[in-house]
Structure 1
């Protein structure tokens, strides 16, 4: 359409030039401005674009507000922000708040310990204690107006011990994912895991008894093969079937209606057709995500541009499908032996998230550990760089989030 429009203008200009000296020539038709494209998403039709048409009011509002937020800002988050503290520092505040003065806008959590086979629900059980810590953090984040997301490093179904394919036999790698599908030998095992997930999500409640919305991204980074659900261990149709079953079981069988569902491969896809090769369908997905560490690993602006092109791809898909686009994981870990990259946050990451008019709703950094950090603490040499990044026009910590759980009047 752009070429046709340009050609029309050129022909029109040529005609005007040829006739400009002819006083008898009729006046040209007035130029008609192209129609203004209105936003298709409204507060009235928002449910029609969601994976769960029976979602709670707060969950509907979260979808709507995340979609609208991306027009002007992206929310900044971190995995385990309240419990992942660098170098055994004080856990009274998130490392991000220590550095910037404000908590992140997004808290990332995981169902891994919650669904662990060793979680017996007893108060003296370490895994159950982790469950309580995680759910308490979710409630705290919600009370502060933050957004909650959950990943799931689910253990493989044979020994129920590891989520890494490297820890499995060749036969286990070949059969594990297929075995959790309907009719598979471990399908009931998987349903019990989902029962636990459903129970936990259904008991996440705010101060008024309302259900707390979460964003759930099952089977993430599936385009790689480091996890047992990776591309080498299941076909596209098998992956879609597992994802679809997960959504329908939680949504329809268990009646859980406070979830937005995220589809989040790693960074291997640069074309939309490839990105959608394992996409389970619009009726099962709310968030189009991408995890990307590799493009930011000492690749400078070249890497940032590669990352931006991939984010542009999902941003365009999200605009077309009326979904949310997000960078569901990223970061560059600094350790005793790995130094920070100058201007990594304020130049490279920020340009990747904003160039080419893309609309990304949120970005999440991975966990700060004792021996390394993704978000710098106040004394770190790149703390100023992070503060600059967090204060830029399109950056949003919790203090600059709108009310995410209410639809605008």
Structure 2
């Protein structure tokens, strides 16, 4: 997580007001709606860039509340695939799609020279009038039209991999994976970042998350040498001993080259902006000093993972998270160095150190970043969208990425998803884990009442409901 405030992704107003001047009904087949006919808020119609359909396109997405709102009537409640015809002529962008003034979803626009149809997940239209708003987010893109197509029913997940990628797997790790496969598409595991916040949920609503995610950040050597003392391993063992499932990520403080300025303190050294460490140069050969430091850091983390192995804790292991964003140094030089680093982490931990308690969780959705099916056990995404929606855009992208052969998780979210929407959209996330302070305890992201609804749902598994997974 940690990069939201820097990018300002959600410094926007999500209120949808007014109605479209040309409401239309989707037919049984695809139906396209031109942006220039929709309701504009802070945006304008233009026709300077060729390749648009209709009479123009919508531009001017440069302020947080800028948007275009389509009003669509439907005779019945129905699920539709949404496609946005857009041009990201200023580089890759992200937009927010808001349905009926409620849940927000984030859609990635790849950089392009002209207009392209971009899959944007699904929308569940109500009977009657509906609004679909495309809201600024990163901004600086052009919107030509949207297309709605009735969604086909999702097929059953019959080809999920049965074995793990590691050269050796402990019995309890295989049991965990078998359990995860058994519930996939049927239930979702509740999850929370940090043990203290998992305990906070228990205090607030009387239910404890099934999964707790911990961060090995403070075991990074460049932090340890400045006095940090990690407690994540103890927290993970604590949750495991009460019958829970453990996920582990690593905000890897750069091995060297921390700026440590007023703007970029040493403890923010996992950010690209806070270090001059060049992962591409470090990986060019195995004899340079920075390569040696990469290995040193991985070995330091191996010590902590071995403590978990000794305690019998299987780990949903999520290194190099959010690489495609570029805001962390391991993704700053593009996909090839990131994939090469993934290989190094794998070889060092699974092969050299022989760790048999790791289930390898990849954490990006773009195909060019994917290490490959043979190098990943589970696919995941980190999603920060308000409204407690189903996050179907990223789920569909991950289904496509892994060809429906991999389990899929919402490894890090800002808003816990509502189970009714998950089931309606057939977004079969294996687990969700809400980020901690300012998200789980923030009513704008997760009200206590919403959390009660989620944690008391039969579709959502809590700690007391997963006690048999080891047996």
Question: Aligning the two structures, in what range does the TM-score lie when normalised by the shorter sequence?
Answer: 0.5 to 0.7
Q: Determine the structure 1 residue equivalent to 2:396.
A: 312
What does the per-residue CA deviation read over 1:105-138, in whole Å, with 9 as the maximum and x for residues that have no partner? 1111111101243426xxxx9523xx2x322111
Contact kept in structure 1, 2:237 and 2:311, CA below 8 Å: no
CA distance in 1, matches of 2:353, 2:285: 16
Shift of 1:227: 1.2
1:349 CA displacement: 4.2
Match of 1:251 in 2: 350
- 1:78 maps to which residue? 192
- Counterpart of 2:205 (choices 97, 100, 110) is 100
SS in 2 for 1:135: helix
Indicate yes or no: 2:163 matched with 1:163: no
Name the CA distance, whole Å, in 1 between partners of 2:315 and 2:157: 29
Cα distance in 2 between the residues matched to 1:210 and 1:261: 19
- 1:319 to partner: Cα distance: 6.3
Q: Distance in 1 between matches of 2:182 and 2:274?
A: 42
CA, structure 1 residues 308+79, in 2 after alignment: closer, same or farther (shift >3 Å)?
same
Shift of 1:191: 0.8
Residues 315/390 of structure 1: CA separation in 2 closer, same or farther (3 Å cut): farther
Contact 2:339 2:371 in 1 (8 A): yes
User: Gapped runs of 5+ residues in structure 1?
Assistant: 1-35, 85-92, 270-274, 333-344
Q: Tell me if structure 1 keeps the 8 A contact 2:315–2:359.
A: yes
Q: Pick from 383, 397, 400 the counterpart of residue 448 of structure 2.
A: 383
Q: Is the 8 A contact 1:315 1:360 kept in 2?
A: no
SS in 2 for 1:94: helix
TM-score (norm 1): 0.68
Change (3 A) 1:239 1:364: same
Give the one of 187, 190, 215 matched to 2:294: 190
Find the aligned partners of 1:391 and 1:110 in 2 and give their Cα distance.
Answer: 27
CA contact (8 A) 1:180 1:188 kept: no
1:229-284 Cα deviation digits (max 9, x unpaired): 22xx323222211111111111111111111111112xxx5xxxxx2211111222
Q: Which runs of 5+ in 2 are unaligned?
A: 1-154, 259-265
**Whole-Å separation in 1 of the counterparts to 2:222 and 2:279:** 17
Separation in structure 2 between the aligned mates of residue 352 and residue 59 of structure 1, nearest angstrom: 31
Q: CA deviation at 1:195?
A: 0.9
Aligned partner of 1:360 in structure 2 is: 429
Q: Distance in 2 between matches of 1:111 and 1:181?
A: 26
Greater fraction of residues in strand = 2
Match of 1:21 in 2: none
How far residue 39 of structure 1 moved from its aligned partner, in angstroms, is: 4.0
Distance in 1 (CA, whole Å) between partners of 2:247 and 2:256 is 27
Tell me, in whole angstroms, the C-alpha distance in 1 between the residues paired with 2:427 and 2:321.
22
RMSD of equivalent CA atoms: 2.9
Which residue, 173, 177, 180 being the options, matches 1:66? 180
Higher radius of gyration, 1 or 2: 1
Q: SS state of the match for residue 224, structure 2? A: coil
TM-score by length of 2: 0.59
User: Aligned partners of 1:106 and 1:363: how far apart in 2?
Assistant: 9
Q: After TM superposition, give the deviation of residue 353 of structure 1 in Å.
A: 3.5
* Whole-Å separation in 1 of the counterparts to 2:170 and 2:339: 25
> 2:157 touches 2:404 (CA, 8 Å); kept in 1?
no
Q: How does 1:174-213 map to 2 (within 5 A)?
A: 175-180=278-283, 182-183=285-286, 184-204=288-308, 211-213=312-314
